[in-house]
C-alpha cells in the first residue's frame, strides 16, 4: 500500500515537466541519475538485467571501495521554498544507503561548487521505505544536493514546497493559478484517477492521466477542488480544459472565489465563497474560455465545483497583477 503523503498540499519542485534536471552525480553505474526525479512511481521488474547488472528504477551507484560517499545535484526548473522531502527507497533492499543528507543553494550554474547550506542533517534510512521529512526554512532555493552514505540506491527524491513568484514590473493579465507563478491546488473532494496538482501545470494535458479525475459518484453531491492563487487578484478570465476526457468529463462547472487568511481557512463549507462563474455546461475534450467573469473584488482562493464528477485537464485563472487589495 502506498504511504500517505503529509505534504500533498504542496507542489513537487522536482518535476521534470517544470524544467527540473539532475545535473551531476558522482557515480551512476547501476542506475541513471535522471530516474531519481521520474514522475512515475518506481517499479521492480523481476528478471530484468542490463550490461551493468540488475536493472533498478532509481539512481544507484556502485559499491564504494575508497573513502568518501556519493551525491547528486538537482537544479529546479522553478526556484522555490522547500517544505519537505520524501526519500523513497522503494525496491532497494540490500543496496540502499544507510544514511542521507541534503543541502541547498542558490546559483546560476548547473553544478555549483560554493554556497551550499544544510537543510537536512545526516538521517538514517531504511530499505524499501518512504521517508517523509519536514523542513522549517523560508528561503527560496534553486538547487539541492543529495548525499548518500556511503553508496547505494534511491528510487525517488520528492521535493515538496511552493513557488514564490516576483510580480514586480508585471503589467497585464497573469494566470494566477499557474504552478510556475506560485498557484497551488490545496484540497479536493476526491482524486481517485488523477491528481489535483495536474490542473495548473504548463501546457495542455498529454493524455487522460494528465489531469484531475474523480471516481464515479454514486451518492448525492458533487466534486470540487480549491486552488490557492499566487497572490490575491481580480479574476476576469478563466479556462477549463477537458482535453482527453470524453466519456467522463463533468456535465457542468461552477467557479467561486474568496479571501482567506490561510489555506486552512479556505474550506468548502465556508460562507465566504462568492460567484465568479455560474453553473455552466461543459463539453468533452475541449478548451472552454470564459470571459467577463463576475468580479467580487480581489480573491486569494478559487473553488471549482464540477457536477456531478469526472475529469478536468487544466484550469487557468487570469487576473491583473495589482488588481486591488484583499478585503
Identify the CA nearest to 37 among candidates 57, 55, 16, 18.
16
Q: Which grid coordinates are listed for 319?
A: 487576473
Residue ranges and CATH numbers for the domains of the chain are 11-162 (2.60.120.260), 173-320 (2.60.120.260)
pLDDT at 326 exceeding the cut of 50:
no
Q: Is the dihedral of CA 81, 134, 71, 20 positive or negative?
A: negative
Distance CA 42, CA 87 (A): 12
Residue-wise pLDDT tens digits, 268-291: 999 999 999 999 999 999 999 999
148-206: pLDDT as tens digits: 999 999 999 999 999 988 888 777 789 999 999 999 999 999 999 999 999 999 999 99
Amino acid at each position: 500500500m502506498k504511504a500517505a503523503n503529509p505534504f500533498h498540499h504542496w507542489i513537487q519542485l522536482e518535476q521534470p515537466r517544470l524544467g527540473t534536471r539532475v545535473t551531476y552525480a558522482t557515480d551512476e553505474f547501476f542506475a541513471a541519475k535522471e530516474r531519481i526525479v521520474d514522475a512515475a512511481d518506481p517499479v521492480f521488474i523481476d528478471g530484468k538485467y542490463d550490461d551493468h547488472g540488475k536493472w533498478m528504477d532509481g539512481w544507484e551507484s556502485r559499491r564504494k571501495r575508497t573513502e568518501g560517499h556519493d551525491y547528486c545535484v538537482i537544479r529546479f526548473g522553478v526556484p522555490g521554498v522547500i517544505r519537505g522531502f520524501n526519500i523513497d527507497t522503494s525496491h532497494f533492499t540490500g543496496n540502499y544507503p544507510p544514511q542521507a543528507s541534503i543541502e541547498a543553494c542558490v546559483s546560476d550554474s548547473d553544478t555549483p561548487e560554493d554556497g551550499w547550506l544544510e537543510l537536512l542533517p545526516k538521517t538514517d534510512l531504511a530499505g524499501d521505505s518512504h521517508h517523509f521529512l519536514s523542513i522549517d526554512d523560508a528561503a527560496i532555493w534553486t538547487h539541492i544536493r543529495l548525499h548518500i552514505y556511503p553508496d547505494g540506491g534511491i528510487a525517488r527524491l520528492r521535493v515538496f514546497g511552493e513557488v514564490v513568484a516576483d510580480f514586480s514590473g508585471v503589467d497585464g493579465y497573469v494566470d494566477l493559478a499557474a504552478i510556475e507563478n506560485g498557484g497551488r491546488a490545496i484540497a479536493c473532494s476526491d482524486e481517485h484517477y488523477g491528481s489535483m496538482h495536474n490542473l495548473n501545470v504548463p501546457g495542455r494535458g498529454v493524455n487522460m492521466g494528465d489531469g484531475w479525475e474523480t471516481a464515479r459518484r454514486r451518492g448525492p453531491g458533487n466534486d470540487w477542488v480549491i486552488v490557492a492563487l499566487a497572490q490575491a487578484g481580480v479574476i476576469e478570465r478563466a479556462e477549463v480544459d477537458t482535453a482527453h476526457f470524453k466519456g467522463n468529463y463533468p456535465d457542468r462547472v461552477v467557479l467561486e472565489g474568496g479571501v482567506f487568511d490561510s489555506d486552512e481557512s479556505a474550506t468548502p463549507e465556508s460562507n465566504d465563497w462568492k460567484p465568479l462563474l455560474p453553473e455552466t455546461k461543459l463539453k468533452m475534450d475541449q478548451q472552454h474560455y470564459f470571459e467577463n467573469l463576475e468580479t467580487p473584488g480581489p480573491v486569494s482562493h478559487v473553488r471549482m465545483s464540477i457536477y456531478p464528477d469526472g475529469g478536468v485537464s487544466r484550469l487557468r485563472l487570469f487576473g491583473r497583477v495589482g488588481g486591488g487589495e484583499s478585503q
